[in-house]
Amino acid sequence: MELTEAEFLRCYNVSLYERPSFTVDLVIFTVCDEQLRVLLVRRAEHPFKDQWALPGGFLDLQRDDSVENCAMRKLVEKTGMRAPYLEQLKTYGSRERDPRGWTATTVYFALMASNSISLAEDPEGVRWAPVQGEGVDKALAFDHAHILADAVVRLRSKLEYTHIAVHLLSEAFTLPELQQIYEIILQQPLDKSSFRRRVIQAGMLEEIAGKLRDGSGRPAQLYRFRDYGRKTFFPRSISRYAR
Amino acid sequence: MELTEAEFLRCYNVSLYERPSFTVDLVIFTVCDEQLRVLLVRRAEHPFKDQWALPGGFLDLQRDDSVENCAMRKLVEKTGMRAPYLEQLKTYGSRERDPRGWTATTVYFALMASNSISLAEDPEGVRWAPVQGEGVDKALAFDHAHILADAVVRLRSKLEYTHIAVHLLSEAFTLPELQQIYEIILQQPLDKSSFRRRVIQAGMLEEIAGKLRDGSGRPAQLYRFRDYGRKTFFPRSISRYAR
DNA sequence: CCCATTAGTTGCAACAAGAAACTATTGGAG
DNA sequence: CTCCAATAGTTTCTTGTTGCAACTAATGGG
């Protein structure tokens, strides 16, 4: 359905010029090579030409039925994955964040397993950058360093009370692998027996047949994530004071 | 700075018609009369004319420096408060949510103390509606019932690991008052001694001089919220398995 | 002065976590 | 074949937290 500008204005009773530029950006995390990494693309256009930025872009109002659909479409375009974990992070909108003026962007964060991704910087200017170190945070376009920092905070926080980390591994994984994901993201070693107790008692993993042989040492039991609809767990939450 | 449409298009390399209508809406909670209530306004225009809706509206690109500023401005306009709690909830954007076509709205949720609000429905069509019961959820315009439900989930969830409930009380409050806020929002009675232990041990409250005399019974100690910058606390978090 | 009422504390059993030592299962060297 | 390194997984014990109930404390009113 095409409208003239006049029709548009009558419909909405607000000038088109009152609308900020609106985009969708993605923070796509993976854990690879023992580091938390994020997908960056090199900007081809001004502003911030040739600097690294989070992938994203404008909505396609014809194709995208919703902001979430748009984010999912862009995620598939960039990574070619099928059923990734995708969650809305936050919307950033201000006059200052883009030198061209008022813009808003809704940012999603995604998690993907590191198998089947390529680490090498490819000619199109796409790169899996380690989140810590290498001054990644200082080199990013727009307010993307700030956005990335927020995403890392959210990711760390959600490790505490959800099972989202399983989306950073392939469908079948072992508990030592899962613990390593936690240790890499939280940047500290965890106690093995406490970690196992908690993850198992939360009851969202199930054993599957087969063991993972890793070259040396005892093979580890394989598990699969079982989504019972329960998204979070608070081991000792206030609502358990119920009498 | 005024631009012609042609300049605009050259800047952004995307048609204006590609931009969805963008608004900011508010879910303003208070606890009053032993119920969790939300501020609703009656719509004066189509669509959903005369139905109740969350307060909100378009950005003012001249006055609002950011989406958050816009939300704060609207909150002050609606409630006249000075330093309320305001947090971004989520952005809802799709072709379906408004019969006029593609729209996006960034929703903030706010908490305010129930003193100095008026409960009576005023002539301008503003109302503090109880969140539960009265079929509020079914009567709302657009997808506002869905948004309200999300806000309630977020509020309940954040009670578990933050102190945001203090923003529903005046600056000086007692622990029994705070516990009652929790019980109203979580819809279940809580154990007194466990509640007090946890809230005090989190270390974000400090005693202040004076006791609250409530007519009958022993007067209660007054407390004040002390914001140490720590926003959340997980009593037993995975990162405490650190070795 | 006693009692109802609400505030706040204490004591204890049950349970969860922290830490370390223990057993189990594999591959590989000799 | 045996032993050892290496990693997985369990057990045990101590310590701390929670659920619960009974207790004390402070106020107003009959």
Q: What is the ipTM of this complex?
A: 0.87
Q: What percent of chain B has pLDDT over 90?
A: 61
How far is residue A97's CA from residue A142's CA, in Å, rounded to a whole number? 6
Q: Which residues 146-205 in chain B have a CB closer than 7 A to strand D?
A: 191-194, 197-198, 201
- Angle at which helix A175-186 crosses helix A192-201, to 10 degrees, equals 110
Are the C-beta atoms of A20 and A102 separated by less than 8 Å? yes
| pTM, 2 dp | 0.89
Residue A104 Cα, gap to closest chain B Cα (Å): 8
* Average pLDDT along chain A, 243 residues, taken 10 residues at a time: 46 58 96 94 89 94 95 90 88 95 96 77 80 75 96 93 93 95 93 92 90 86 83 62 51
How far is residue A154's CA from residue A27's CA, in Å, rounded to a whole number? 11
How far is residue A91's CA from residue B143's CA, in Å, rounded to a whole number? 19
Are the C-beta atoms of A44 and A35 separated by less than 8 Å? no
Asked if A211 CB < 7 A from strand C, the reply is yes
How far is residue A38's CA from residue A187's CA, in Å, rounded to a whole number? 16
Residue B241 Cα, gap to closest chain A Cα (Å): 5
Over residues B88-110, mean pLDDT: 96
> What is the band of B119 on the pLDDT scale with cuts at 50, 70, 90?
low
Q: Name the more confident of B18 and B206.
A: B206
Over residues B184-195, mean pLDDT: 92
Query: Tell me, what's the pLDDT at B239?
Result: 54
Radius of gyration of chain A (CA): 21
Are the C-beta atoms of A224 and A208 separated by less than 8 Å? yes
Query: Tell me, what's the pLDDT at A1?
Result: 42
How far is residue A101's CA from residue B62's CA, in Å, rounded to a whole number? 11
> What is the band of B83 on the pLDDT scale with cuts at 50, 70, 90?
low
The C1' atom of D8 and the CA atom of B236 lie apart, in whole Å, by: 25
Asked if the Cβ–Cβ distance from B65 to A94 is below 8 Å, we say: yes
CA dihedral (A50, A54, A60, A65) in degrees, to 10, reads: 170
Query: B12: which chain A residues are within 8 Å (Cβ-Cβ)?
Result: 21, 100
**Contacts (Cβ under 8 Å, ≥6 apart) of B76:** B82
Tokens 């900020």 correspond to what residue? A20
Residue A11 Cα, gap to closest chain B Cα (Å): 7
Query: Tell me, what's the pLDDT at B3?
Result: 47
The C1' atom of D28 and the CA atom of B216 lie apart, in whole Å, by: 6
Is pLDDT of B57 > 50?
Answer: yes
Q: Within 10 A of B116 (CB to CB), how many other CB atoms are there? A: 10
How far is residue A166's CA from residue A121's CA, in Å, rounded to a whole number? 26
Asked if B172 CB < 7 A from strand C, the reply is no
> What is the band of B1 on the pLDDT scale with cuts at 50, 70, 90?
very low
Going by their DSSP bridges, the two strands A21-32 and B173-174 should be labelled as: unpaired
Name the residue among A34, A183, A181, A165 with its Cα closest to residue B241: A183
